Structures are given as C-alpha cells and as structure tokens.
C-alpha cells in the first residue's frame, strides 16, 4: 500500500507558479519511484492572495498549511503590490504571518558549491573552494516584528519650520527566543564540522549584547562544538574574503536575511539556494530568491533552488532520505552534463545546453 503525504503548495507571485510546476513534476516522479502518493493542495499567498481575497494570508491558506505534512512555497511579491501606505496589505505580510502562525522560528539555508558551477560565482574558484555552510536565522523576533509606527513631529522640534513625519521600528529579543535558535544551531553543528559562528553587533546594540550572553550560556551545554563571536560587518566581509571558514552561522532576523542573500552569490546565483523554516508547527520550505517579476512568464527562471527546497523537505519533514539522495544526485548530474539556465550560464555555454525553466526540470526528472 502506498504511503500518502499531504503537501500545501503556495505558488505565490511572479515566477512562483512556473517553478512550482517543476517541483510538482519532480514530486510525481519521486512518488512513483518510491511508492509515495503526494497529495498536493494549492493555496493563495502574497500578492495573488491580495488580488483575490484582499488578504496576503487568507484563512483557508493557513488552514491548508496547518493540515499539511509540509508546506512548499515558491515566491511572493512584486511591483504591483509595492506601497508605502501602512494601511494597505503587502505580500510580505503573508509570509511573515504564516511563519508566526505556524510557530516557525528557525530558518536554515544551506550554502554549498556544486563543482560544475565553480565558474558561475563572481569570486575566484580558489576562494569558494570547500564552501559548505549552514546559515541559521532567527525568524520571529527583531526589527521585523517589533513595534513600528509613523507619527507627525511637533512643529519646530528639529528647528524652525522643521515639522514633519518620523518613523520607528523597534528591535526586541526575549531570552527564550535567542536560546532556542542557538540550540538549533549547535545541534546542527554536531552533525557537521562542530563549529558555530554567532553573528551580532554587540559593540553597539543592547539586543546583541543579550544575544551574545545567551549564546555563550547555551554553548556551555555543547563542549564538543567550538563557538566564535563575529560582528555582523566583519561577517559580511569574511563571507567574500574567506567563506570556507564557516560551518554553521547563527544570527538574528535582519542580519540573517541580509547575510544569507550575500552568501547565495557564492554559488553564483540566488537560483541555487534553498531554505527550510522550522519550529512548532508545519515546516515551510522555499527557495531563497524572490519572485523575479522582470522575467515572470518568460519560462527562463532557474527552478533548481525550488527543487533543492524539495530535497530539504524530503529529508527534514518527510523522512525520505533515499528520495532526497536521488533528487540531489539528479540535480548534480544535470549540472555535470552542462545544462544551464541563463543565471548560471557562462558566456561560452553552447546554445543547446541553455535551458528554460521547464526544460531544466525535465532534465532533472529524466535522471530520476
């Protein structure tokens, strides 16, 4: 009897539906190979949800996510929904709300170099040689969730005739939030090279000073894992200077958002970086790139980050390591055969090896 697995699919906006199609093709192929029935339930999130329901996170979507064994999200956002009006919904509110409602406090982003793509990075091959790191980002605290507002200043408060608007965003962290993300990082490091870099701004920010104190307290429970403190500005520099030094990097919400996007370029493209968001409820898997509205509908987007997110989902939520190994090997073989989408192609890539979204997905499926 086949095993049934329920997946909530969130295609979202921009290139999202296109790369979701490739994920579905891969899941169906894997299901046939491994005797699993993937029960796929598609729901709205982000701009598409705003257009149809007025909300970036409709109630039905949240219910589908809670009922699923895992959630697979493609991408959200785009200029059609950009606004500075605090009273209008934005696509990002859907993702932030989904993470909060599902209790997803840890975002894991593996950064690894596929040997055939060494030349796709903007850094020299000798700089990225040996890069295999995991960025662990706290997801539910910090500036993205703190109190924020705009208000009109009192006339002349900044000098004669200087009345105007002021805005603020508040960065807040509780001790328990720091402790649980630190434990996530140390546990991950035990299965890797046993090294954690904790990234903060403790020379300036009080939240970072608390962060450092709590991380050191947690480290005492992991004497087999080395801990290195690193200021965020130095971490940004070291990621492009000597990235292979990192094993597990743990940091707060905004720092992690920025550094993980920087780290993605070590691989040559955001189109090669997957992520997993874990916590108390259904886990969420998504590529780290955005919705790329400039190429949406053209069939040229790189689907591999989406497929690598499927690999993470198979391993971390579905206990399907053999299927994940098959998918990882199929992606590596596809790249090894020279097939490329435009974002990872070299100037001299032969036209017959230059693939669109569906063609790249087909190449991976063929190797399954």
Give the model confidence (pLDDT) of 255-307 as tens digits: 999 999 898 888 777 778 899 999 999 999 999 888 999 999 999 999 999 99
pLDDT > 70 in the chain, percent: 97
| Highest CATH level, class, for 122-149+165-267 | alpha beta
Is 21 marked active-site? no
Instruction: State the pLDDT at residue 47.
Output: 96
Catalytic residue, candidates 25, 144, 200, 343: 144
Q: Which of 365, 356, 338 is nearest to 271 (CA)?
A: 356
Instruction: State the pLDDT at residue 128.
Output: 87
Query: Per-residue pLDDT tens for 54-105?
Result: 999 999 999 999 999 999 999 999 998 988 777 788 999 999 899 989 999 9
Asked whether the predicted pLDDT for residue 1 surpasses 70, the reply is: no
Catalytic residue, candidates 13, 200, 247, 257: 257
User: Mean pLDDT across the stretch 338-342?
Assistant: 94
Domain boundaries in the chain? 1-110+270-368, 122-149+165-267
Structural fold of domain 1-110+270-368: Isopropylmalate Dehydrogenase (3.40.718)
User: Mean pLDDT across the stretch 230-258?
Assistant: 96
Paired sense of beta strands 148-152 and 165-169, if any: antiparallel
Q: Do domains 1-110+270-368 and 122-149+165-267 have the same CATH topology?
A: yes
**Looking up tokens 């990082």, which residue turns up?**
185
Is 257 marked active-site? yes
Catalytic residue, candidates 201, 247, 326, 343: 201
Is 247 marked active-site? no
Query: Per-residue pLDDT tens for 146-184?
Result: 999 988 876 666 666 666 889 999 999 999 999 999 999
Is 261 marked active-site? yes
Catalytic residue, candidates 129, 233, 294, 319: 233
Which phi and psi (to 5°) does residue 185 adopt?
A: -65, -45
Instruction: State the pLDDT at residue 121.
Output: 80
**Token pair of 152, please?**
């009109």
Give pairs for 170-176: CB < 8 Å, separation 24+. Answer: 170/143, 170/146, 171/142, 171/143, 171/146, 171/205, 171/207, 171/254, 172/141, 172/142, 172/145, 172/146, 172/147, 172/207, 173/138, 173/141, 173/142, 173/207, 173/210, 173/211, 173/252, 174/141, 175/210, 175/214
User: Mean pLDDT across the stretch 14-25?
Assistant: 98
Label residue 120 by pLDDT band (50, 70, 90): confident
């Amino acid at each position: 009897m086949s095993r049934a697995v329920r997946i909530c699919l969130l295609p979202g906006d921009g290139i999202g539906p296109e790369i979701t199609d490739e994920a579905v093709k891969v899941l169906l192929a894997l299901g046939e190979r491994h005797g699993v029935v993937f029960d796929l339930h598609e729901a709205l999130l982000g701009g598409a949800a705003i257009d149809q329901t007025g909300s970036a996170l409709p109630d039905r979507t949240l219910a589908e996510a809670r009922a699923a064994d895992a959630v697979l999200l493609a991408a959200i956002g785009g200029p059609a929904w950009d606004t500075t009006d605090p009273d209008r919904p934005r696509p990002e509110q859907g993702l932030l709300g989904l993470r909060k409602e599902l209790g997803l406090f840890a975002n894991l982003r593996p950064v690894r170099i596929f040997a055939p793509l060494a030349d796709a990075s903007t850094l020299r091959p000798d700089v990225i040689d040996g890069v295999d790191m995991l960025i662990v980002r706290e997801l539910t605290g910090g500036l993205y969730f703190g109190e924020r507002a705009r208000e009109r200043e009192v006339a002349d408060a900044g000098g004669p005739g200087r009345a105007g608007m002021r805005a603020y965003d508040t960065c807040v962290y509780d001790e328990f939030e720091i402790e649980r993300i630190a434990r996530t990082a140390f546990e991950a490091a035990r299965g890797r090279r046993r090294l954690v870099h904790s990234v903060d701004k403790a020379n300036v920010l009080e939240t970072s000073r608390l962060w450092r104190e709590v991380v050191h307290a947690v480290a005492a429970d992991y004497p087999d894992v080395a801990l290195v403190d690193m200021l965020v500005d130095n971490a940004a520099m070291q990621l492009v200077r000597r990235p292979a030094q990192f094993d597990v990097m743990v940091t707060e919400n905004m720092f992690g958002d920025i550094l993980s996007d920087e780290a993605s370029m070590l691989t040559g493209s955001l189109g090669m970086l997957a992520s997993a968001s874990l916590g108390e409820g259904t886990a969420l898997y998504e590529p780290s790139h955005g919705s790329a509205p400039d190429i949406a509908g053209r069939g040229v987007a790189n689907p591999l980050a989406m497929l690598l997110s499927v690999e993470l989902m198979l391993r971390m939520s579905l206990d399907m390591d053999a299927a994940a190994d098959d998918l990882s090997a199929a992606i590596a073989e596809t790249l090894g055969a020279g097939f490329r989408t435009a974002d990872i192609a070299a100037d001299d890539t032969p036209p017959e090896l230059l693939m669109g979204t569906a063609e790249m997905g087909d190449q991976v499926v063929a190797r399954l």
